[in-house]
Amino acid sequence: MTSITTSDFPQADRLELIVRLVNAIHEGLTSEQDLEEAIGLASEGRQARYYRRAAESINLLELVDRLPLLTSQGKALAVSNSSERGDILRLAIKSNPVFDKMLAYIDEHSPNTRELQEYVARLYPGSAETAGRRTSTLKNYLLQSHLVVNSNDKYEITSYYESTLINELEATARGFEVPSQGSNPGSNNFQKRSVGFIRDPKLRKAIEMQAVNQATKHYLGQGCQVQDVGATHSFDLLVQTPSGQERHVEVKGSQRLIEKCVLTLNEVIHAKQFKETDLILVSNIKAKYDASTISWQTDPGEMRIIKNWVPDAASLEALSYSYSITPDLVHGDREVTI
Q: Tell me the CA distances in angstroms from 21 to 15, 43, 211, 275, 297, one per residue in order.
A: 10, 15, 44, 59, 38
CA dihedral 297→303→157→90, nearest 10 degrees, is: -10
Confidence of residue 281 (pLDDT cuts 50, 70, 90): very high
Read off the DSSP letter of residue 217.
Answer: H
Tell me the percentage of the chain whose pLDDT exceeds 90: 49
- Strand-pairing partners, residue 150, are 155
pLDDT higher than threshold 70 for residue 120: yes
How far, in whole angstroms, is CA 66 from its chain's centroid? 34
Q: Coil, helix or strand for 88?
A: helix
pLDDT higher than threshold 90 for residue 205: no
**Alpha carbons 113 and 32: distance in angstroms, whole number:** 35
CA angle in degrees (0–180, nearest 5) for 172-176-180? 50
Mean pLDDT of the chain: 83
- pLDDT at residue number 167: 56
The pLDDT tens digits of the residues spanning 149-162 come to: 999 999 998 877 76
Which burial class, exposed, middle or buried, applies to 323 when counting CB atoms under 10 A from its CB (0-12, 13-18, 19+)?
exposed
**Per-domain residue ranges for the chain?**
6-157, 201-311
Q: Which of 14-18, 167-171, 264-268, 281-285 has the lowest mean pLDDT?
A: 167-171
According to the CATH classification, is domain 6-157 in 1.10.3540? Answer: yes
> Which fold would CATH assign to domain 201-311?
Trna Endonuclease; Chain: A, domain 1 (3.40.1350)
